[in-house]
Amino acid sequence: MIPILILLGLGSAAAAAFSKISLIVIYLSLAIGFTSLLMFLLFFGFIDLGDQASADAAGVHDSTVMHDGGAHLDTASLFMVSPLTFLSSGALFGAYGLITLPIFDFLPTNIKDYTSILMSLILTAFSYLFVIRTLFRLLKSTSISKSKFFFEGKEGDIVEAISENGIGKVAIRIDNEVHYIYVRTEDGRPIPVGRRVRIKRIAGDYGYVEEI
């Protein structure tokens, strides 16, 4: 989320300051373009809504992990974003920009533009943290509850390595369809990419696997 806000804020400010494109055109392009692209990717199955929601809501991109008996913040994961997060944030920023821009008409043009950008960033961050992530958690819960009995006992291949006391991803092929699940091991030991594993159980946010 952090790099998305930086990109949107700096990009919009630079465009407003140095280009002849009006800020309202930028907002319209973001709102319509990002929403249309998100709908297209969802409709044609390029984005697995349940999978992406699970990743975001489970804290895979901004998680605190246990290591050597203590907790530390995985700072690298703070700057990882899913396509769902990126596109929904861009669409929200554009929509909020269209709402906030007329509100500050009483201000001089430059100040109005920058104030609108700042308010849109704040509203986007607020909406993502307290609304979008809540929806992601609901989708994640639905996805996990549906998959609990469906995936337990199934075998698959590790496609994202499980680090020590960390989280990875397993690909399970069922009826010529590949499903992806975020997993960890019971004892916290790592498993590299390519190893064959079995889903022992699904509890909470993740599946727990054993190497076979």
Interhelix angle for 83-103 vs 109-127, to 10°?
140
Q: What is the pLDDT of residue 79?
A: 36
Consecutive sets of 10 residues in the chain, 212 residues long: mean pLDDT of each?
69 71 88 91 69 49 37 36 80 93 88 91 88 70 58 88 89 80 89 91 83 88
What six digits make up the tokens of 121?
């960033």
9 and 98 together in one domain: yes
90 and 180 together in one domain: no
Burial class of residue 146, CB neighbours in 10 A (0-12, 13-18, 19+): exposed
Interhelix angle for 133-151 vs 49-57, to 10°?
110
Q: What is the pLDDT of residue 42?
A: 77
134 and 171 together in one domain: no
106 and 160 together in one domain: no
123 and 158 together in one domain: no
171 and 91 together in one domain: no
Burial class of residue 170, CB neighbours in 10 A (0-12, 13-18, 19+): buried
Containing domain of residue 201, as a range? Answer: 152-212
Q: How many domains does the chain have?
A: 2
Q: What is the pLDDT of residue 76?
A: 34
User: Whose CA is closest to 30, among 120, 123, 127?
Assistant: 120
CATH number at residue 168: 2.40.50.140
24 and 103 together in one domain: yes
179 and 134 together in one domain: no
Instruction: Please measure the distance between the N-terminal and C-terminal CA atoms of the chain and give it in whole angstroms.
Output: 37
What six digits make up the tokens of 23?
């800020």
